[in-house]
Structure 1
């Protein structure tokens, strides 16, 4: 399937509506072909990661956001399998701690950014502060922001400031060598229900189920509105969002893999080239090693 980047990519707020993106949209792609292509992507990903690690100049930050049971963990596991652990860092963000609340909302995410030469994956991210915190604005009170003591004070101006902080944060990272791509795994409410039931019925998946999952389903429309506004407010050509149809896990993994590989290819990481004087000495070192006496 050609054009995955163009089809699912969002680079501006212009005419963006989440309802225009389907949750089940594999096009003409067949499952067997997708799995075969994914294996090819993994080989290319490994090669590009080695180049990125050796170059030690750029880094790639991959953000995953989604409703519960959309398949974030599975996408990370399947797409990134085979990648050298030394060159990849994965962080799964849970509820902020008391220490996190002693700082601004970006602090714990800045600490988790990938080092130069590495791929960083954020399973949930700084976007939680304009998603779950917008659906449940009472959570913002824990941040103890000066001037905000009541829920009703979290108005449109507050959220616009949050989006601006995120845009500036990501622009700063871009200027300093960190490429950012952001995935929203777009799952339907019906498919989420099926996956929740599967977690309940399969004893080996019971541990994945939480009563909070059911409670949050009641806010589905609020979450969709929050995602639409956050994506529209923070999608830029240099820090794009990708709205990935997630009702079919195999296709979501294929699309994510293809986009990551195309992003890394465009970054053009290269193995460092030795200076001429050091290259000239390699033959000397080679001869010296070859002529060492045997034990």
Structure 2
């Protein structure tokens, strides 16, 4: 398997999605990729254990991608070796009435991981500049002052949202949240094949919705909105990574490898030292327990 240059997937300057590949095999077989992923996820699990004891950082992982891009299975496979109490996953669906009664970032803010834990957002606060931008009529249900019709939702409105999201993430980063944002870059043809598999396999039928085809018809618009959102919100403290998603095994390895390489740069994340009194009396404590 080839060495992985994780920086080549990080967005550091404006991108054109249609010029970025959607398939990667890392010069490895499916078996080799699965074996390598197992090693990485064990290391990630150990890092989280130490991070929990260190108690100063949390990690937020944001996953975005078109339907069938593999978000659910990626979460299952990458975090399989974690202590179940060390990672929390949230899937954001259509906002509830309670969520709509607050600002659009509220439901994401209350789901953030506490210090020492990983939080995974399966679909994220970016839905508020993606699906709502493709379907601006959804904004009307937010009851925002000054927004009376779709005509009021102009480019100035979206620019304000990008600024608000950037400020939100900057605030999180300044207070100890390490942020990763992954766009799972799927080809339209691969999505077609995956939707067909959902229809062909009885046990997968439940995943299919006729709405998937309606959204697929808007593929071009979604790609434009993703590209704009990525270009306007990829920052040093909260970078976007565009990950080829046509090969699920390689996608999982890339995400896990990026997490591991970037997190191990935090050399201050170490287990806390025992206080001097406890260290001085360890042998005494052991003797006391052994002689009970």
- Residues 1:231 and 2:230 are matched in the alignment: yes
TM normalised by structure 2 equals 0.96
The residue number in structure 2 matching 1:147 is 146
- Residues 1:85 and 2:112 are matched in the alignment: no
Deviates more, 1:220-229 or 1:271-280: 271-280
Q: How many equivalent residue pairs?
A: 290
Any idea what SS the aligned residue of 1:122 has?
Answer: strand
The residue number in structure 1 matching 2:271 is 271
Instruction: Tell me how far 1:3 sits from its aligned partner.
Output: 3.7
The residue number in structure 2 matching 1:158 is 157
The residue number in structure 1 matching 2:219 is 220
Distance (whole Å) between structure 1 residues aligned to residue 109 and residue 94 of structure 2: 16
**Gaps in structure 1 of 5+ consecutive residues:** none
**For the Cα contact (< 8 Å) 1:4–1:255, is it kept in 2?**
no
Distance (whole Å) between structure 1 residues aligned to residue 108 and residue 14 of structure 2: 30
Distance (whole Å) between structure 1 residues aligned to residue 169 and residue 156 of structure 2: 20
Distance (whole Å) between structure 2 residues aligned to residue 87 and residue 107 of structure 1: 23
- Residues 1:281 and 2:281 are matched in the alignment: yes
**For the Cα contact (< 8 Å) 2:26–2:250, is it kept in 1?**
no
Over 4 Å off, 4+ runs: none
Instruction: Tell me how far 1:128 sits from its aligned partner.
Output: 0.1
Any idea what SS the aligned residue of 1:181 has?
Answer: strand
The residue number in structure 1 matching 2:105 is 106
The residue number in structure 1 matching 2:121 is 122
Instruction: Tell me how far 1:94 sits from its aligned partner.
Output: 0.3
Instruction: Tell me how far 1:125 sits from its aligned partner.
Output: 0.6
Distance (whole Å) between structure 2 residues aligned to residue 35 and residue 21 of structure 1: 24
**For the Cα contact (< 8 Å) 1:60–1:119, is it kept in 2?**
yes
Any idea what SS the aligned residue of 2:64 has?
Answer: strand
The residue number in structure 2 matching 1:73 is 72
Distance (whole Å) between structure 1 residues aligned to residue 6 and residue 34 of structure 2: 18
The residue number in structure 2 matching 1:199 is 198
The residue number in structure 1 matching 2:10 is 9
Instruction: Tell me how far 1:289 sits from its aligned partner.
Output: 1.5
User: 1:235-250 counterparts in 2 under 5 A?
Assistant: 235-250=234-249
TM normalised by structure 1 equals 0.95
Instruction: Tell me how far 1:27 sits from its aligned partner.
Output: 4.5
User: 1:162-177 counterparts in 2 under 5 A?
Assistant: 162-177=161-176
Any idea what SS the aligned residue of 2:21 has?
Answer: coil
Deviates more, 1:242-251 or 1:263-272: 263-272
**Gaps in structure 2 of 5+ consecutive residues:** none
Distance (whole Å) between structure 1 residues aligned to residue 289 and residue 246 of structure 2: 57
Deviates more, 1:177-186 or 1:267-276: 267-276
| 1:192-249 deviation per Cα after TM superposition (whole angstroms, max 9, x unaligned) | 0100010001000000001110110111000000000000010011111111101111
Instruction: Tell me how far 1:20 sits from its aligned partner.
Output: 2.5
The residue number in structure 1 matching 2:132 is 133
